[in-house]
């Protein structure tokens, strides 16, 4: 038996480091590369060609050090995890690659591929969010359950799923690394698509940091927030002021602070002053 070297965090949960690659229910062997088909549940949709070529060069020199995880299908084997290595091995001209066979349902395949990609940081934020959404839809379970399965905080899952509600333009910015996850979280906090796109344009045009974007978002929200309701005391003083204005027929102001204050009664002629004195007297 060949022992694995440097297994990724995702697969190491399935194959204990230092143990022989024999998974009880499964087998380990060198499989013809053309007998393997890609995983339709693969969360990762984009592969960087330069990185693939660098991995292919490494594989050509040292071989595939970490086995691919596959399941049996009618015409051969289907990838569960390791599509990047499989593609690079093809580029390197390998005829066979090491694989571990594991029987799994489509949902389990998605989960295993998701775990490996997350721990290897192979997914862009939108791919990761889409994988979470698909898993939740397939399993009909909660974000809390998913968080426990993949070792993440529930709030992380929630924040990732919010990205899928962003306009497609902003999602593409995330995929292409024009915006960071920090920027995306700020944009997701805005209520309307118009606000999101306006701030997105400002971030890209002015190269705003996440902190600067947060400040702009707060300013935008503050403009739209209604004024807080008057306190009971302020409402009472306003009603008294209005009553005095009606009674005296002139402008009246009440200025109050900490239980003390003044009442200012305005007059605009000697005759009006006389009238007010007579009325008050």
By annotation, the residues acting in catalysis are: 83
Task: Yes or no: say if 125 and 162 are a contact pair by the CB < 8 Å rule.
Answer: no
Length of the chain equals 281
Distances (CA, A) of 72 to 14, 183, 220, 228, 275: 17, 42, 55, 63, 102
- Residues with Cβ within 8 Å of 86's Cβ and at least 6 positions away in sequence, in order, are 33, 36, 38, 68, 79, 97
The CA distance from 59 to 174, in Å, is: 30
The CA distance from 279 to 272, in Å, is: 10
Task: Tell me which residue of 54, 57, 53, 70 sits closest to 14, measured CA to CA.
Answer: 70
Q: Computed from CA positions of residues 164, 165, 169, 174, in that sequence, does the dihedral angle turn out positive or negative?
A: negative
Identify the helix (H) or strand (E) that includes residue 257: strand 252-257
Distances (CA, A) of 148 to 8, 80, 164, 172: 19, 20, 21, 29
The CA distance from 212 to 189, in Å, is: 15
φ, ψ for residue 259, nearest 5 deg? 85, 0
Task: Yes or no: say if 60 and 92 are a contact pair by the CB < 8 Å rule.
Answer: yes
The CA distance from 23 to 234, in Å, is: 74
């Amino acid at each position: 038996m060949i022992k694995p070297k440097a297994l990724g965090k995702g697969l190491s949960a399935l194959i204990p480091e230092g143990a022989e690659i024999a998974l009880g229910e499964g087998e380990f062997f060198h499989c013809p590369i053309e007998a393997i088909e890609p995983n339709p549940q693969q969360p990762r949709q984009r592969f960087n060609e330069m990185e693939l070529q660098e991995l292919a060069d490494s594989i050509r020199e040292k071989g595939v050090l970490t086995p691919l995880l596959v399941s049996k299908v009618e015409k051969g084997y289907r990838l569960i995890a390791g599509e990047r290595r499989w593609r690079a091995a093809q580029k390197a001209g390998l005829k066979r690659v090491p694989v571990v066979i594991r029987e799994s349902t489509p949902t389990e395949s998605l989960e295993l591929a998701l775990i490996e990609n997350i721990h290897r940081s192979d997914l862009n934020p939108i791919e990761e969010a889409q994988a979470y959404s698909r898993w939740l839809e397939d399993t009909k379970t909660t974000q809390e359950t998913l968080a426990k399965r993949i070792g993440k905080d529930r709030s992380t899952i929630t924040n990732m799923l919010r990205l899928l509600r962003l306009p497609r333009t902003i999602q593409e910015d995330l995929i292409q690394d024009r915006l960071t996850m920090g920027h995306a979280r700020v944009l997701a906090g805005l209520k309307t698509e118009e606000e999101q796109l306006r701030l997105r344009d400002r971030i890209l045009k002015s190269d705003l940091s996440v902190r600067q974007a947060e400040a702009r978002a707060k300013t935008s929200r503050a403009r739209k927030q209604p004024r807080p309701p008057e306190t009971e005391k302020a409402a009472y003083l306003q009603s008294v002021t209005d009553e005095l204005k009606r009674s005296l027929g002139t402008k009246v102001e009440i200025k109050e602070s900490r239980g003390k204050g003044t009442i200012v009664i305005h007059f605009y002629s000697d005759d009006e002053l006389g009238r007010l004195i007579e009325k008050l007297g």
